[in-house]
Structures are given as C-alpha cells and as structure tokens.
Amino acid sequence: MSAVRTALYAQVADIRIDTNGRDAASVHGAVESALGLVDIVAREPRRLDVESPRGAYAIHVGAGLLADGRQLAEAIRGRHVLIATDANVARIQLPVLEASLRRLRPDLVIAVHCMPPGEAEKTLGRWQEAVAALAKLGATRDATVVALGGGVVGDLAGFAAATWMRGIDVVQVPTTLLAMVDSSVGGKTGVDLPAGKNLVGAFHPPAAVIADTAALSTLPARELRAGLAEVVKYGAIFDATFLDWLDDRAEALLAGDPEATAEAVLRSCRYKADVVARDPFERGDRALLNFGHTFGHAIETEQGYTGATGGLVHGEAVAVGMVLAARLSTALGRAAQADADRLLALLQRFGLPTRVPAGLDPSALLARMRLDKKADAAGLRFVLWDGAGRGVIVRDVPESAVMAVLAG
Ligand code: ADP
Ligand code: ZN
C-alpha cells in the first residue's frame, strides 16, 4: 500500500483491522465483531449507585452478569450465603450463578432454598421455611441472602433477610423484567396474608442489585410484556420523552434486543431510585409509583390473585389500571384526551390488555378500592396525571367519577 493511501486511510478510518496473515473467514469475523459495536455496548455492564437509609448500593445491569459473577462475588461480605429461588429459576439460572460463586469465592458456605413458583407462595409459611434454612446454615450477622428470581422470591427472601437477626444483607438478583425495573429496587420486602397483599413486611434495601438481562431470554413472553407495563409507568408519571423512546423501541424491546432492554432497565431503575431516595418510606412522592395500581389491585383482588385462574397478572392489571387512571384524569379536567389515547396506544403496541376483564362488576371494584391502603379518611385517593409525564396524587376523588370510568 502506498504511503499516501496509508496516511489517508489512517485519517478517515473508524475501525482498523489487521489482515496480515489472516484468511478470509477470519477477517470476515473480525469485521463483523468490530461492526457489532451495539452488541459490545450492551454486553458492557452498566452501574447505577443508589442512596438508601441502610447505605448506598449499586445496581448492575448487563447481559451475562451471572456467568461473569464478579459483581455478585464482590457484594458478599461474610462467609454464609443462602440462595433463595423458585423451582423454575432453580432449573434455568441457578446452575450458572452457583458455579460463578463457587469459582470466585471458594471460601463461602452456600445453601440453596427453593420454593414453588407463584404469588400464592408469598406466605408467612414460606418465610418461616426460609429463616429455618438460615438457621440450619448457621448464618451469622454477616451472612447474605441472594434472592434469585422474580418479584415473589425477591419480596420473600428480602423479608427473610430483613428479619433474620434483625437484618442481614440481601443481594437482589432479579430474573423477570418486572423485578428488574421495580421490585428489586427500593427496599420493599414482605409477604401476603389471606386478608391482602404485602400486609406484613419491612423496608430493607438490598446490598446490591444484579440484573442480568440475558436471564430474560427464557422468560415467557407474557411475563416480559407485564414487566413492560411497569416500564411504561415511569414514562407516564415522570417523563413524557421516555414514552416516545419506548414507542421508538417497542419492536426491539418485544424481541428482547439486548441494547434496548439494558437501556430500558437502567432508565427505569434511575426513575425509581430517584423517587425512593427523595422519599424512602413512602410519605409523599414515592406514592406516585402507584399510578395504575389502585385500579390494578382492585382488579387483581376481585378476580383472585393468580394469573393461573385465567385472570390478569400484576403488570397486566397495572396496564388496565393506567388506562383507567388516565381516563379519570381526563374526566376530572386534569389532562387532555390525547394523552390518554397515546398511553392506550403504547400499551396496545406492547400487547397489553387495556380494558377491565369481562365479568368484573364495577361496584365490586369500587368497594375494593375503598379498602385499599391508599384510601384515607377523607375519601378515595388516586395517583392521576396532569398529562403525560406528570403524575400527581389526588385526594377526595368523587366516587361517581370513578364509577363512570369503571363502567365506561
Ligand atoms: P414477578 O417478577 O412478575 O413478580 P414471579 O416472581 O411470580 O413474578 O415470577 C413469574 C414467573 O416467572 C414465575 O413462575 C417464575 O418462576 C418465572 N421466572 C422467573 N424468572 C424467570 C426466567 N428468567 N425464565 C423463566 N421463567 C422465569
Ligand atoms: Zn406494580
């Protein structure tokens, strides 16, 4: 190659590949991986540091973090580890996590506690089994619970960590999109009682969150969509431009594109971490995160908890709830109809339900909402919006307006 050409190429090139002594196939491979910059970016773990009353913690997001294992190994202080998980996740993700941990931390004494999957298992009985497993392990005050699974495992294992010896570390390793963007961040832990969801629990922020987006590849499509509803929620209450971003990336997110997924998880965690840092114990702003949830919980309770009965899963119920909250905002003159229409369209793009399931009685739903924790003495309290991106807590919402939206 002439010196002139070499100099010119050096000036304009974005990527340089040495072809000396390489065959065509090998050059082809090098070009492909150099052009696959997007993929490389996605594989690079990203980190978000979060303040909490128990001290700062890191949220790591990236594809392959469980196989890598470094972030997990570094988050464990003592010698005892209880990995809490459910039967599905134990089959799919546990072997990788356990192998990483044993490779990087041969000093650890590790036990595994596995529960059956499903919200119906988030009980005091299962909590008792988890703390019994800690006792059997001989867990000391510097022991760590690793919560490997969806929101159910995270809440239950987090509560076991919160209560064992008045509180030991929990590392949240969420394996559902919903848990990555919502339940693993912010420190709420607990179990359900027959009288209602999450009635017994504690604020217990994690020592670290490790969100391996590669784990989502085995998640059923329905669960992925349900998680996307909570992602949409952040745009709805905090940032209209995030709704545009989601609209742009809808196909990529549904296809599990690693770059778009990592970005959506990280941005969601940031919105949540910001509001939780301002209001860790939900005395004010944090309640905005309940957008769509007063309606959603009423639907969930009225239909009976699990999706197994043919009803909606949590994220789906929240999708319907957000549509109703947006309609109620329009009816109360707080927001334009166009905002509600736009939210509806985005949720539909994600394949989420947007109507109250047939057979649920509006007055029964209203009665459920009167019992909701978010109803205070003065009347029904709702999280509504003053248009896309501007969530607002509204007290004394007239029941007639709520009924009109439910029946409509
Ligand atoms: P959520 O995180 O939505 O609150 P769960 O903890 O109930 O929900 O998890 C939803 C279901 O998905 C459970 O049956 C659980 O075993 C299963 N699950 C969790 N993570 C994965 C995964 N990465 N791949 C496949 N199934 C998973
Ligand atoms: Zn939720």
Q: What is the pTM of this model?
A: 0.87
Query: CA–CA separation, 308 vs 71, rounded Å?
Result: 35
What does the pLDDT read at residue 45? 73
Was 98 annotated as part of a binding site? no
Q: Which of 176, 192, 210 to mutate to test the pocket of ligand 1 (most atoms within 8 A of CB)?
A: 176
Strand partners, 210: 60
Query: CA–CA separation, 339 vs 228, rounded Å?
Result: 19
What does the pLDDT read at residue 200? 97
Was 122 annotated as part of a binding site? no
What does the pLDDT read at residue 26? 54
What does the pLDDT read at residue 38? 39
Query: CA–CA separation, 38 vs 356, rounded Å?
Result: 40
- Give 247-261 pLDDT, tens digit per residue: 999 999 999 999 999
What does the pLDDT read at residue 37? 41
Among residues 216, 237, 154, 217, which one has the least CA distance to residue 189? Answer: 154
Q: Which residues line ligand 1 (CB under 6 A)?
A: 86, 88-89, 92-93, 117-119, 149-153, 175-176, 178-179, 215, 218-219, 223
| Atom number, ligand 1, closest to the C-alpha of residue 227 | 3
Tokens representing 216 are 């989502």
Active site residues: 166, 188, 230, 272, 282, 286, 290, 293, 297, 314
- Give 132-141 pLDDT, tens digit per residue: 999 999 999 9
Residues contacting 286, CB < 8 A, separation 6+: 186, 275, 276, 278, 279, 280
Q: How far is the CA of 333 from the centre of ligand 2 (A)?
A: 26
| Atom number, ligand 1, closest to the C-alpha of residue 88 | 16
Domains observed in the chain: 2-217 (3.40.50.1970), 221-407 (1.20.1090.10)
Other C-beta atoms lying within 10 Å of the C-beta of residue 217: 12
Phi, psi of 270 (to 5 degrees): -65, -45
For residue 307, which ligand has an atom nearest its CA?
1
What does the pLDDT read at residue 155? 98
CB of 278 closer than 8 Å to CB of 190 = no
Residues of the chain with pLDDT under 50: 36-42, 307-308
Distance of CA 390 to CAs 325, 330, 347, Å?
Answer: 12, 13, 18
What does the pLDDT read at residue 8? 65
Question: Distance of alpha carbon 205 from its chain centroid, rounded?
Answer: 15
